[in-house]
Amino acid sequence: MKHSIRRNGDLYPTHGIGPVAQWMDINRGNQFDHLVSMATKSRGLNLWAAEHIGRDSAEAKQTYALGDVVTTLIRTKNGQTIQITHDTDSPRPYSRNIVLQGTKGLVRKYPEEKIYIEGKSPNDKWENLDAYRARYDHPLWKGLDQRASGAGHGGMDYIEDFRLVQCLRQGAPMDMDVYDGAAWSAVIMLSEQSIAQRSRSVDFPDFTKGKWAERQPLGIVDAEGRTVALRGA
């Protein structure tokens, strides 16, 4: 709540930007270049407090800096754009709205798992992602599916912890390092700066001091930690 009172920006970008950054090889041959952010007015917190705590409560009368919806656009060095939305004060069914758009198709991961590939999918119609899962599902996930059954977030918590311990045991670099954490977290402060300057463009710092251009992208690993290639990839 204290953040919402005094800060207007994307206050929690890391959950959404992390997977996208790895798709786009951020800090490993690519980098965030600049962003612009825009926020709506703030209404949701006051309305909620008035209805649930009382119209005369301190929470209902409080002035909140955080806009109900904050939209951020990031441009990468390699020419991709990323859209992140921070929206915790508006009503809607749970959704992460994950979409990856390329030149030959796009895939939606959540809430519906759909895919469309130009020249393969029925004309102007989504396909179910299950049609591609057996061939392209990540080998780490397939190798740990049974062991991860029943763990938090549909098994994800187990796999994340497993991979962390695997890297430590093998003396291998982490899939996420301090440079990733800095780049993803910087969205918070940079989005605040952009909004405060009428949505002007703000440059990302280069936390790697140029090393991002030399570092290799992450490989696709299996449950044994071996780098593998997907069939047809």
- 132-189: pLDDT as tens digits: 988 888 999 999 999 999 999 889 999 999 999 999 999 999 999 999 999 999 999 9
172 domain residue, yes or no:
yes
126 domain residue, yes or no:
yes
190 domain residue, yes or no:
yes
195 domain residue, yes or no:
yes
Domain of residue 127: give its range. 2-205
72 domain residue, yes or no:
yes
CATH number for 169: 3.30.360.10
**pLDDT tens-digit map of 47-57:** 999 999 999 99
CA distance 129 to 114: 5
21 domain residue, yes or no:
yes
* Whole-structure pTM value: 0.92
211 domain residue, yes or no:
no
* Helix intervals (H) in the chain: 2-6, 14-23, 44-52, 58-61, 130-136, 139-148, 156-170, 178-196
**8 Å CB contact between 223 and 45:** no
With cut-offs at 50, 70 and 90, classify the pLDDT of residue 230: low
The closest alpha carbon to 175, from 56, 16, 22, belongs to: 22
Instruction: Quote the number of domains for the chain.
Output: 1
215 domain residue, yes or no:
no
79 has a pLDDT exceeding 90: yes
- 39 alpha-carbon distance from chain centroid: 19
